[in-house]
């Protein structure tokens, strides 16, 4: 079988590996699992084993949306009432399909886009209310919200309710897009009106600014280190195109997926997958026929299942 391409036509494995190698993680980050991910994604029979699926069975998969993802999920749910095969709006739809295909239980955290503190509280409450420990699958701002939820659970001695975490393109250290919006009076005013009309809160954008996220990381550094050691974690990061290497060295934010720079999505101590030629929406919405979001999700779940099995 011809391997699925991440964008455009299939690329030889050596070219793909060379593109992926553009990303260099900080020394304090965990293991680079990109090679393992590629092997799983490109070979359907190796995406996830029966043992790895069995390791995930005792847990519920909790999906955590990104900024205004609650709106996308609502619209998708409305359209699905008329045609469950509709692809017009399918935010996180393939993630739910991937989980169901494995015979795992799945739920979506219900919360509006708001401050990290408020969203994190809602996610922590959803985890506490679960009848079994959860595996969290988060996207974009949902990664930052999830991190806050885990810190809150750790503080009250309930972190054991989380069996693992997959952060997909998490804005853990902020997004330049949020800075651009918040620094402009016109853009921030327009965003404030738009996000309020959609039921969210503008603080969600302010909390995504680089200054705010870096300050948050610094303030909670020791607590975050304990979370990463206690909860098996995989951070998936990507970028849309490979810029000039010299330019990337001058400004690592250039290596981004269109919303989140790759180096801002990996927590110290966490293992990671870093992929070239994948956009921010491509992992969670049907925008590229060459990208298989079900296989993508199952590959990451298989890797997490292996970490749980080995106690890593």
Q: Is residue 17 part of a domain?
A: no
Confidence at 80, pLDDT banded by 50, 70, 90: very low
Q: Is residue 201 part of a domain?
A: no
For 269-284, what is the mean pLDDT? 95
Q: Is residue 272 part of a domain?
A: yes
Q: Is residue 206 part of a domain?
A: no
pLDDT higher than threshold 60 for residue 72: no
pLDDT of residue 114: 87
* Least confident stretch, 28-37, 71-80, 154-163, 274-283: 71-80
Q: State the Cα–Cα distance between residues 121 and 71, nearest whole angstrom.
A: 19
* Least confident stretch, 19-23, 177-181, 250-254: 250-254
For 68-85, what is the mean pLDDT? 51
Confidence at 195, pLDDT banded by 50, 70, 90: confident
Q: Is residue 294 part of a domain?
A: yes
- 3-state SS of the chain is CCCCCCCCCCCCHHHHHHHHCCCCCCCCCCCECHHHHHHHHHCHHHCCCHHHHHHHCCCEEEEECCCCHHHHHHHHHHHHCCCCCCCCCCCCHHHHHHHHHCCCEEEECCCCCCCHHHHHHHHHHHHHHCCCCEEEEEECHHHHHHHHHHHHHHHCCCHHHEEEEEEECCCCCCCHHHHHHHHCHHHHHHHHHHHHHCCCCCHHHHCCCHHHHHHHHHHCHHHHHHHHHHCCEEEEEEECCCCCHHHHHHCHHHCECCCCEHHHHCCCCCEEEEEECCCCCCCCCCCCCCCCHHHHHHHHHHHHHHHHHHCC
pTM of the model: 0.89
pLDDT of residue 156: 98
Q: Over the chain, what is the mean pLDDT? A: 87
Task: Confirm if 12 and 3 have CB atoms less than 8 A apart.
Answer: no
List pLDDT tens digits, range 122-136: 999 999 999 999 999
Quote the number of domains for the chain.
1
CATH number at residue 272: 3.40.50.1820
Structural domain range at position 81: 26-174+224-310
Of 69 and 21, which is predicted with more confidence? 21
Confidence at 9, pLDDT banded by 50, 70, 90: very low
């Amino acid at each position: 079988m011809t391997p699925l391409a991440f964008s455009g036509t299939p690329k030889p494995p050596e070219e793909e590996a060379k593109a992926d190698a553009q990303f260099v993680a900080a020394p304090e980050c965990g293991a680079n699992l990109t090679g393992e991910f590629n092997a799983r994604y490109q070979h359907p029979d190796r995406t996830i084993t029966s043992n790895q699926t069995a390791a995930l069975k005792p847990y519920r998969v909790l999906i955590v949306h990104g900024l205004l993802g609650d709106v996308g999920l609502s619209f998708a749910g409305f359209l699905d009432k008329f045609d469950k095969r509709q692809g017009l709006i399918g935010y996180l739809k393939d993630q739910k399909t991937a989980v169901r295909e494995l015979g795992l239980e799945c739920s979506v955290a219900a919360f509006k886009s708001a401050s990290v503190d408020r969203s994190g509280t809602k996610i922590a409450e959803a985890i506490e209310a679960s009848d079994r420990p959860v595996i969290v699958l988060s996207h974009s701002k949902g990664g930052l919200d999830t991190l806050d939820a885990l810190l809150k659970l750790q503080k009250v001695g309930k972190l054991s309710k989380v069996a693992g975490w997959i952060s997909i393109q998490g804005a853990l250290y902020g997004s330049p897009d949020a800075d651009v919006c918040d620094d402009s009076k016109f853009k921030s005013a327009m965003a404030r009106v738009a996000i309020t009309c959609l039921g969210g809160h503008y603080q969600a954008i302010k909390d995504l600014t680089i200054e705010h996220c870096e300050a948050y990381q610094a303030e909670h550094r020791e607590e975050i280190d304990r979370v990463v050691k206690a909860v098996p974690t995989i951070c998936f990061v990507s970028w849309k195109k490979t810029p000039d290497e010299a330019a990337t060295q001058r400004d690592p934010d250039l290596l981004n997926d269109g919303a989140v720079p790759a180096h801002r999505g990996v927590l110290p101590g966490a293992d990671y997958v870093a992929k070239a030629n994948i956009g921010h929406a491509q992992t969670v919405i049907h925008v590229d026929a060459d990208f298989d979001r079900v296989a993508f999700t199952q590959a990451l779940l298989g890797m997490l299942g292996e970490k749980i099995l080995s106690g890593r």
